[in-house]
Structure 1
Amino acid sequence: MTIALALAASVTWGASDFVAGLLSGRLPARTVVTCSQVVSLVAISLVVLVVGLPLPPGQWWLWGTVGGIAEGGGLLALYTGLARGRMGIVTPIAGLGVLVPVTVGLVRGDPVTLLLAAGIVLAIIGGVLASGPEIGDEDEGGDRRSILYAVLAALGLGTAMVCVDLGSRISGMHTLWSMRVASVGAFVLISLVLTSTWRLPRRLVPGIVLVGVADLGATALFSLATTRGHLSIAGVLASLYPVTTILLAWLVLKERLRPVQVLGVLAALAGIALVAA
């Protein structure tokens, strides 16, 4: 069940990032992240009002707050990096955020066999290669600060995974709710400080809603995966979202897959098979 839930989270996150990438070409990254997070907050708040009251005891709110700020910052860094630099450089580096939950899980005592370790390593390598890394290429047109944004995205998104796991051991639903409250609150404060105005064209609203709902759904699936299995396994499989993103780009946008990306997809699938075994 853990494997199925984590892979479902990966596919959902990948689809969300694909749509968000399209939107980020027409809107500032901060607008895409903030508006989609607001959609997520409205959706999870309705769920809490219907089935989540009264609020349970425990420190789910603490992990949710830290995780929400980490995830919001990670997404903002990711979309900003994609806007400034090459996708083939930013995405693989950001994808290495999986090392955060894997490390925490292993330190915490997740059992590891030789077969499982091989599957985890192969899946991580496959996820990076599927992004189409170009780190060795000449990067004349991109902003080199995009690498810094990619590193920040990796740290933020990896930290958020750990916080989801810790909070979900108390209450997954309320952890997700506090994450969205924290991220939306932080972005609203930033907007007030910057005194900026946003313009969201009506034709892009459905895309924003889709990104917000998909991101929330993926996080919920990951939350369920971590409560039913080990963080290290769930983290690796859920972090294979670049595979979904590049396959959607191939199917929908007719983008050509580079040989290294095909190799990455095959390696990721082999890693999944070893983990499942």
Structure 2
Amino acid sequence: MVTALALVTALAFGVADFLGGAVSRHSTALKTLALSAPMGLLVVAVAAVVVGGAPSPPSLVWGFLAGLCGGLGLITFYRALARGPMNVVAPVSALASAVLPVGVGVLRGERLDEAAVLGVLLCLVAIGLVSMEKGEEAEPSGGASPLRRPLDSGPLMALVSGTCFGVFFILLKAAGDGAGLWPIAAARVGTMTVVFTALLIAVRFRGGDRGPRVTGKALIGLALLSGVLDSGANALYYLAVQDGLLSLVTVLTSLYPAITMLLARIAYSERLRAVQRVGMAVAVAGVALVTVG
């Protein structure tokens, strides 16, 4: 059951990222998130009321902190992609988001049998392989100051984003059980806090966030659906990780780039590179071993 929940979580994250990316092609990441994040909060708040539970202050605090990390991870990930190269950025972020929780799980005493360990290792390899995209030249730094150059480094920002995602996974595990979906609602509030703070900073220091608005029923609908799916994925991950091992659930969840790649192949006729096809085959083998283990 835990394995199935984690895989469905990866599916939801993958579709949500694809839809969010599709909308961002016509606008900006921040403006897309400004639409999707409130919708996600609305959906998860309604679900939390229906499910019930007894939220405690610690569980809400853990959830809110997780949301702050998740929102920061989203923003830094998009900045990393803008700085490139993508064939370094995507694998670094995906692997960091998976490896960090695995390390924490092991330190907390989580133990897997040999088949599951091999499956987890294969899934980690698969995450890196399916995330690899064709390299693009990074934007020139021009006369950037020495202090700003680290912030303009794609690989460094990718490591920051992956670390933020990994901490997000860990903090949701720490929120504990018995609180229903209220920690997820608190996480959405945290994500919205980061997104709208970033928008305010953009307005204050850059005279407004450059780029077109999200317009048209189709694009607005896709942005809202992305928020719904992202919140649903958060809720599914939370349910899975409360019943399962942090290391196992996080690795399976982090396979979501494979879903995004497949959808891009279908929608935009983007060809999968040989390394990505190998990664998907490795992912199937890894999931099979984890299921058996």
Instruction: Give me the TM-score of the superposition, normalised by structure 2.
Output: 0.86
Matches within 5 A, 1:70-81: 70-81=69-80
Query: 1:87 maps to what in 2?
Result: 86
Q: Is contact 1:21-1:79 (8 Å) kept? A: no
Offset at residue 165 of structure 1 (A): 1.3
Structure 1 unmatched runs, 5+ = none
Query: 1:253 maps to what in 2?
Result: 268
Q: Is contact 1:92-1:129 (8 Å) kept? A: yes
Residue identity in the other structure for 1:262 = R
SS at match of 1:171: coil
Offset at residue 64 of structure 1 (A): 0.8
Query: 2:179 maps to what in 1?
Result: 171
Offset at residue 123 of structure 1 (A): 0.6
- Identify if the C-alpha distance between structure 1 residues 142 and 271 changes in structure 2 by more than 3 Å, giving closer, same or farther: farther
Offset at residue 74 of structure 1 (A): 0.6
SS at match of 2:112: coil
CA shift digits 1:132-190 (9 cap, x unpaired): 256xx6x5455662222211110111111111111142425011011111221233334
- Identify if the C-alpha distance between structure 1 residues 255 and 188 changes in structure 2 by more than 3 Å, giving closer, same or farther: closer
Matches within 5 A, 1:122-271: 122-132=122-132, 140-142=137-139, 145-195=153-203, 196=208, 199-203=213-217, 204-271=219-286
- Identify if the C-alpha distance between structure 1 residues 57 and 81 changes in structure 2 by more than 3 Å, giving closer, same or farther: same
SS at match of 1:257: coil
Matches within 5 A, 1:59-78: 59-78=58-77
SS at match of 1:169: coil
Residue identity in the other structure for 2:87 = G
RMSD after superposition? 2.1
Structure 2 unmatched runs, 5+ = 141-151
Query: 2:43 maps to what in 1?
Result: 43
Offset at residue 234 of structure 1 (A): 0.4
SS at match of 2:213: coil
* % identity of equivalent residues: 32
Offset at residue 23 of structure 1 (A): 1.6
User: Which moves more between the two structures, 225-234 or 189-198?
Assistant: 189-198
Offset at residue 52 of structure 1 (A): 3.7
SS at match of 1:56: coil
Q: How far apart are the structure 1 equivalents of 2:51 and 2:15?
A: 28
Residue identity in the other structure for 2:265 = W
Q: How far apart are the structure 2 equivalents of 1:50 and 1:228?
A: 21
Offset at residue 243 of structure 1 (A): 0.8
SS at match of 1:59: helix
Q: How far apart are the structure 2 equivalents of 1:212 and 1:25?
A: 16
Instruction: Give me the TM-score of the superposition, normalised by structure 1.
Output: 0.91
SS at match of 1:187: helix
- Identify if the C-alpha distance between structure 1 residues 73 and 141 changes in structure 2 by more than 3 Å, giving closer, same or farther: closer
Offset at residue 241 of structure 1 (A): 0.3
Q: Is contact 2:48-2:180 (8 Å) kept? A: no
Q: How far apart are the structure 2 equivalents of 1:243 and 1:193?
A: 34
Q: How far apart are the structure 2 equivalents of 1:254 and 1:122?
A: 27
